Structure 1
């Protein structure tokens, strides 16, 4: 029963993070990088399938819901023409994400797919980090904070704790924390630079 409640809380946090983020995209306040979201949506949903195969149970459901919504955000970012600059590195991340499926198929072990997908998903932060470094107000700290909390709770809700089920949500929680720290730092630097210019 506790696992079900933790999963429900993680799903609620997923929705609490995504709904305002989607509203912000529609208002033009947030400009997500389309390829980051294509990568995140694809990798997250495939990890959900791997967690289900490795008996992750109800703790996997927040990841599955998250993957589905992330794919929707990628489509929304494309439709709104938010940030559609796609570099050679972005293509490399995408190809690496797709390459995880043959790993899973040929090894018959979801762990290898999860290792590849986790690596690719963390690297998928690259385009967003690049954008947020230059435009630190273009991303939502609340969004990534809720996702960090969601992933920690999702780990606790897993019915089977193994490297296959835990690696992805734990790594993404750390990546969210690091992105938030970088954005906070850059906002302070940009704010100080603006104040210096006004002071002149």
Structure 2
């Protein structure tokens, strides 16, 4: 059970979460506008769709001001999808992309049929978590290709969202809690793999220095 939080504090937490959302997304948007980043159109459209539907479901479940950062995140995500289209980003589409889109769209009739936003949130949370698969694999193989700062900001943002929610239920808490934990998992993988990589590099440099010293000792003076 979360402690009772006064409404002004909830509003402040929500505002802080929105600020963190902006801090997380603005560098990515700047990279797109400068041509350094080519986002995958279909992926960002799906993420935007799922996030916006989760926002609507949280509002329906009386999440209140705590849901607004999710809505802002959804708008940023759709903006990135729009820029991907305008800037001719990565428009390649594979079978998994269509599967994710169909899963996201299935949440709406499921919500309508059950009259319970929880089912929509559960489906969309699953879709977003599956979307972390390639990122986690990439973080393990190429730990310096992802930004730890981005995932730290998003983990903190989702923590603030949970605290700012006016009503705590599975329907309102599931999405931000699950995504926050997924971000923490990525952070842990990046940190551990970078540490191992640095240790390996240090060991290689050490052995190279030792071999160089031995060669110098054997060389005629």
TM range (shorter): 0.7 to 0.9
Change (3 A) 1:168 1:192: same
Task: Give the whole-Å Cα distance in 1 for the aligned partners of 2:27 and 2:35.
Answer: 12
Give the greater-gyration-radius structure (CA).
2
Q: 2:106 aligns with which of 90, 95, 99?
A: 99
Task: Give the whole-Å Cα distance in 2 for the aligned partners of 1:183 and 1:144.
Answer: 10
CA RMSD across the alignment: 2.7
Offset of 1:137 from its aligned partner? 3.4
Could you say which structure has the greater relative contact order, defined with CA pairs below 8 angstroms and 6 or more residues apart?
A: 1
Task: Give the whole-Å Cα distance in 1 for the aligned partners of 2:66 and 2:188.
Answer: 27
2:171 is matched with: 164
2:121 is matched with: 114
Task: Give the whole-Å Cα distance in 2 for the aligned partners of 1:153 and 1:139.
Answer: 23
Task: Give the whole-Å Cα distance in 2 for the aligned partners of 1:31 and 1:148.
Answer: 24
Q: Deviations over 1:74-117 (max 9, x none)?
A: 23345445554433223212211111111011111101000111
Normalised by the length of structure 1, the TM-score is 0.86
1:6 and 2:10 equivalent? no
Task: Give the whole-Å Cα distance in 2 for the aligned partners of 1:130 and 1:162.
Answer: 32
Alignment of 1:40-119 (within 5 A): 40-80=47-87, 83-119=90-126
The answer for unaligned runs of 5 or more in structure 1 is none
Is the 1:114–1:168 Cα contact (8 Å) retained in structure 2? yes
Q: Deviations over 1:148-171 (max 9, x none)?
A: 000000100000000000000000
The answer for unaligned runs of 5 or more in structure 2 is 1-7, 212-221
Alignment of 1:124-139 (within 5 A): 124-139=131-146
Normalised by the length of structure 2, the TM-score is 0.78
Offset of 1:25 from its aligned partner? 3.4
- Tell me the SS of whatever aligns to 1:19: helix
Change (3 A) 1:86 1:100: same
1:144 and 2:118 equivalent? no
Is the 1:29–1:138 Cα contact (8 Å) retained in structure 2? no
Change (3 A) 1:133 1:71: farther
Q: How many residues align?
A: 200
Task: Give the whole-Å Cα distance in 2 for the aligned partners of 1:151 and 1:36.
Answer: 21
Is the 1:144–1:180 Cα contact (8 Å) retained in structure 2? yes
